[in-house]
């Protein structure tokens, strides 16, 4: 590839090393995801990981420059479609593009390990809150973007220290309702709101992409501040965001994450044996509640679920309920699992608790109260499909 | 009816009694309260409001929605930005305890979680 290819970017202070070795995880492959990925690919960012479980809808097309026109009607997966377009567009020396057509929580924290930045480009507030917590726990910079025509914002969180401001600080309005991005977009349209236009998406995505590029260079000029733009009037504002002492977010991070030589499919006694080498009385912190039992939605009697709460889509029903029970069973759920709980629940492995291959797990030592983090064995290939292109030096650029 | 909890006496009072329009100059500001001006996020006017010490940022936003100065928006929220410092005000703490002063101007700002699905 011509050595002059990045001559202009070099003048702007871009380091080829920083960009070609940079890994960016982009959650959401809609308008923001398309526009940000397009810029990062052109800038030669080495690896992009794209996560989205939604499929393309016709209304996405006019705000998503990397969704090929001829594919829109076929409603393919957003992440897969964007990943293939990005791979073709990338000027990285050896571009690697990974995609996961999955809910981000199902991929676990291992999907983010090694990232130089995480970009929540999703419509869901709870998913943004989840990603803010992930970024803080792993100490990865978070570049946030959000918009609803004609206004939007970009903000940056360095996540270098536990007590820094995080995206969740002062976000008491973040609902717990979870739905797909397409659902949110339809809801806004039904309410007469314009969720995005290409002008707004492109303008703010450019700012977010610049913040990502700066982060890959270890620079954070926007950290702790939020830039607001009205694309219609040109009005803008730069606001300082402050740490909220009452923040419900995760204000701790793990500077060292030890490898745990077991997989997500290892039997739980084997897992706890390995953990006891690190903590005398270990309990595994779950990423969400694990529900052992809950009342039947009709009769109130006990229904055994043994499932992560996020996988329970419908209110539980027992097999045969006719008469309302005299007492309603309380919900019994776990937020941590110790060895005795694992035996009582009779679960086969960590996967049954909702963990993914290669994920990072927080371990609470019940004797000391210390919290540490371990990374399970596992490959990114278990989470993502990878598009690995030949080195750019073999490509012809004229 | 929405209620707010006073920090000191723990009594519950209607939010309307804690946060009132103060556009009528004949109405005195209650003792301990201050009058500040909220600016609409998209330039559609301003609203002088009397706030007492119990009002948090979240209550102020809820009050402004109740008074139809701003609208409830799906999948997004509002931030309150103190114009003289360009700093975001806390949602869960008393605005007065956070440093709000008589005559301050507060920008009500859209904070969206939209990403163009």
| DSSP secondary structure string for all residues of A304-352 | EEEEEGGG--S----SS--SPPSSPPPPEEEEEEEHHHHHHHT--BSGG
Averaged pLDDT for residues B16-26: 51
Chains A, B: CB pairs < 8 Å: 140
DSSP A6: T
Residue closest to B106 by CA, chosen among B48, B23, B55, B54: B48
Give every CB contact of residue A242 below 8 A, 6+ residues apart in sequence. A165, A169, A170, B87, B88, B90
Asked if A168 reaches chain B (Cβ–Cβ under 8 Å), the answer is no
| 3-state percent helix, strand, coil for chain A, nearest multiple of 5 | 30, 25, 45
Residues of chain A in contact with residue B115, where contact means CB-CB under 8 angstroms, are 28, 30-33, 120-123, 145-147, 181, 196
Higher pLDDT, A73 or B7: A73
Residue B13 has pLDDT above 60, yes or no: no
pLDDT for A397 equals 45
Averaged pLDDT for residues B11-33: 54
Is residue A5 within 8 A of residue A91, CB to CB? The reply is yes
DSSP-derived pairing of the beta strands A332-338 and A282-295: antiparallel
Question: Confidence class of residue B10 from pLDDT cuts 50, 70 and 90?
Answer: very low
- In this structure, how many other beta carbons lie within 10 angstroms of the beta carbon of residue A155? 23
Residue B4 has pLDDT above 50, yes or no: no
- In this structure, how many other beta carbons lie within 10 angstroms of the beta carbon of residue A95? 25
Spatial distance between the Cα atoms of A396 and A47, rounded to a whole number of angstroms:
20
Residue B8 has pLDDT above 80, yes or no: no
> Has the ipTM of the complex gone over 0.85?
no
Spatial distance between the Cα atoms of A312 and A291, rounded to a whole number of angstroms:
9
Residues of chain A in contact with residue B75, where contact means CB-CB under 8 angstroms, are 123-125, 148, 175, 184, 187-188
pLDDT for B42 equals 83
Residues of chain B in contact with residue A125, where contact means CB-CB under 8 angstroms, are 75, 113
Is residue A28 within 8 A of residue B115, CB to CB? The reply is yes
**Between chains, do B93 and A246 touch, taking CB under 8 Å as contact?**
yes
Distance from CA of B92 to the nearest CA of A (A): 7
Inter-CA distances, A21 with A94, A115, A336, Å = 9, 10, 36
Residue B107 has pLDDT above 80, yes or no: yes
pLDDT for B17 equals 47
- In this structure, how many other beta carbons lie within 10 angstroms of the beta carbon of residue A381? 11
Residue B22 has pLDDT above 70, yes or no: no
Cα A323 to the chain's mean position, in Å? 44
Enter the tokens of residue A61.
């097309």
**Between chains, do B116 and A226 touch, taking CB under 8 Å as contact?**
no
Distance from CA of B50 to the nearest CA of A (A): 22
Is residue B65 within 8 A of residue B49, CB to CB? The reply is no
Distance from CA of A320 to the nearest CA of B (A): 39
Spatial distance between the Cα atoms of A340 and A332, rounded to a whole number of angstroms:
16
- In this structure, how many other beta carbons lie within 10 angstroms of the beta carbon of residue A313? 5
Spatial distance between the Cα atoms of A4 and A7, rounded to a whole number of angstroms:
5
Task: Record the pTM.
Answer: 0.87
Residue A149, classed as helix, strand or coil, is coil
pLDDT for B75 equals 63
Q: What is the pLDDT along chain A (398 residues), one digit of tens a residue?
A: 555 788 888 888 899 999 999 999 999 999 999 999 999 999 999 999 999 999 998 888 899 999 988 888 888 999 999 999 999 999 998 999 999 999 999 999 999 999 999 999 999 888 999 999 999 999 999 999 999 889 999 999 999 999 999 999 987 655 444 555 555 556 555 665 666 899 999 999 999 999 999 999 999 999 999 999 999 999 999 999 989 888 889 999 998 999 999 999 999 999 999 999 999 999 999 988 999 998 888 888 888 899 999 888 888 888 777 666 566 677 889 999 999 999 999 999 999 999 999 999 999 999 999 999 999 999 999 999 999 776 655 544 44
Residue B79, classed as helix, strand or coil, is strand
pLDDT for A131 equals 96
């Amino acid at each position: 590839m011509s050595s002059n290819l990045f001559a202009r970017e070099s003048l702007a202070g871009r380091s080829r090393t920083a960009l070609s070795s940079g890994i960016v995880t982009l959650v959401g492959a809609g308008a923001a995801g398309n526009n940000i990925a397009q810029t990062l690919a052109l800038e030669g960012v080495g690896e992009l990981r794209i996560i989205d479980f939604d499929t393309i809808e016709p209304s996405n097309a006019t705000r998503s420059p990397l969704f090929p026109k001829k594919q829109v009607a076929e409603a393919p997966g957003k992440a897969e479609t964007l990943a293939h377009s990005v791979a073709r567009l990338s000027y990285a020396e050896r571009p690697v593009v990974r995609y996961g057509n999955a809910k981000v929580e199902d991929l676990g924290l291992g999907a983010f390990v090694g990232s130089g930045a995480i970009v929540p480009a999703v419509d869901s507030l709870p998913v943004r809150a989840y990603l803010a917590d992930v970024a803080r726990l792993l100490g990865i910079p978070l570049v946030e973007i959000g918009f609803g025509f004609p206004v939007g914002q970009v903000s940056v969180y360095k996540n270098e220290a536990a007590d820094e401001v995080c995206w969740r600080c002062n976000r008491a309005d973040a609902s717990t309702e979870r739905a797909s991005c397409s659902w949110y977009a339809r809801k806004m349209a039904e309410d007469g709101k314009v969720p995005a236009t290409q002008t707004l998406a492109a303008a703010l995505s450019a700012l977010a992409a610049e913040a990502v590029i700066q982060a890959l260079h270890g620079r954070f000029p926007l950290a702790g501040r939020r830039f607001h733009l009205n694309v219609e009037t040109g009005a803008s504002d730069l606001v300082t965001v402050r740490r909220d002492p009452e923040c419900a977010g995760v204000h701790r991070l793990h500077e060292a994450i030890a490898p745990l030589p077991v997989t997500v499919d290892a039997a739980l006694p084997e897992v706890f044996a390995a953990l006891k080498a690190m903590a005398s009385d270990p309990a595994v912190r779950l990423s969400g509640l694990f529900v052992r039992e809950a009342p039947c939605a009709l009769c109130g009697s006990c229904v055994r679920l043994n499932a992560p709460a996020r996988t329970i889509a419908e209110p539980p029903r027992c097999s045969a309920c006719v008469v309302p029970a005299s007492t309603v069973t309380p919900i019994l759920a776990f937020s941590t699992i110790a060895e005795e709980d694992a035996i009582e629940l009779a679960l086969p492995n960590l996967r049954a608790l909702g963990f993914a291959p290669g994920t990072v797990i927080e371990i609470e030592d019940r004797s000391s109260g210390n919290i540490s983090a371990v990374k399970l064995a596992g490959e990114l290939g278990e989470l993502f499909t990878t598009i690995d292109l030949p080195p750019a030096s073999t490509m012809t650029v004229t | 009816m929405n209620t707010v909890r006073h920090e000191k006496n723990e009594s519950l009072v209607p939010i309307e009694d804690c946060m009132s329009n103060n556009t009528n100059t004949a109405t005195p500001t209650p003792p301990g309260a201050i009058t500040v001006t909220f600016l609409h996020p998209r330039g559609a006017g301003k609203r002088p409001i009397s706030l007492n010490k119990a009002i948090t940022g979240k209550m102020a936003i809820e009050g402004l929605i109740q008074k139809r100065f701003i609208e409830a928006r799906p999948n997004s929220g509002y931030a309150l930005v103190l114009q003289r410092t360009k700093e975001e005000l806390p949602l869960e703490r008393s605005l007065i305890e956070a440093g709000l002063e008589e005559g301050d101007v507060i920008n009500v700002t859209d904070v969206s979680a939209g990403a163009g699905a």
